[in-house]
Amino acid sequence: MRIDIISIFPEFFDVLDLSLIGKARHKGLLEIHVHDLRDQTTDRHRTVDDTPYGGGAGMVMKPEPWARALEEVASHGKHLGYGTPHLVIPTPSGEVFAQPTAAALADCEHLVFACGRYEGIDERVFAWAEELFEVHLVSLGDYVLNGGEVATLAMIEAIGRLIPGVVGNPASLVEESHSDGLLEYPVYTKPATWRGREVPEVLLSGDHGKVDAWRLAQAEERTKSRRPDLWKTRKDLA
How far is the C-alpha of 198 from the C-alpha of 200, rounded, in Å? Answer: 6
Tell me if 92 contacts ligand 6GU by CB under 6 A. Answer: yes
Contact stretch for ligand 6GU (CB under 6 A) within 36-44, 89-97, 182-190, 219-227:
89-97
Name which of 70 and 138 has its Cβ closer to ligand 6GU. Answer: 138
Ranges of H-type helices in 7-161:
19-26, 63-79, 99-106, 124-129, 148-160
Name which of 151 and 219 has its Cβ closer to ligand 6GU. Answer: 151
Ranges of H-type helices in the chain:
19-26, 63-79, 99-106, 124-129, 148-160, 171-175, 208-226, 228-237
Tell me if 58 contacts ligand 6GU by CB under 6 A. Answer: no
Name which of 110 and 117 has its Cβ closer to ligand 6GU. Answer: 117
**Footprint of ligand 6GU on 149-168 (CB under 6 A):** 151
Tell me if 90 contacts ligand 6GU by CB under 6 A. Answer: yes
Ramachandran angles phi, psi of 66, nearest 5°: -65, -45
Tell me if 141 contacts ligand 6GU by CB under 6 A. Answer: yes
Q: Are 148 and 114 in contact (CB under 8 A)?
A: yes
Q: Are 226 and 194 in contact (CB under 8 A)?
A: no
For the sheet with 2-7, list strands across it: 31-36, 2-7, 110-114, 86-96, 134-139
Which of 84, 101, 139, 177 contacts ligand 6GU by CB under 6 A?
139
**Footprint of ligand 6GU on 119-138 (CB under 6 A):** 138
Name which of 144 and 237 has its Cβ closer to ligand 6GU. Answer: 144
Which of 6, 32, 140, 183 contacts ligand 6GU by CB under 6 A?
140
* Residues in Cβ contact with 180 at an 8 Å cutoff, skipping those fewer than 6 apart: none
Residue 21: helix, strand or coil by DSSP? Answer: helix
Using CB under 6 A, count the residues that bind ligand 6GU: 13
Q: How far is the CB of 146 from ligand 6GU (least distance, A)?
A: 7
Known binding residues are: 116, 140-145
Contact footprint for ligand 6GU (CB under 6 A)? 90-92, 138-141, 143-145, 147-148, 151
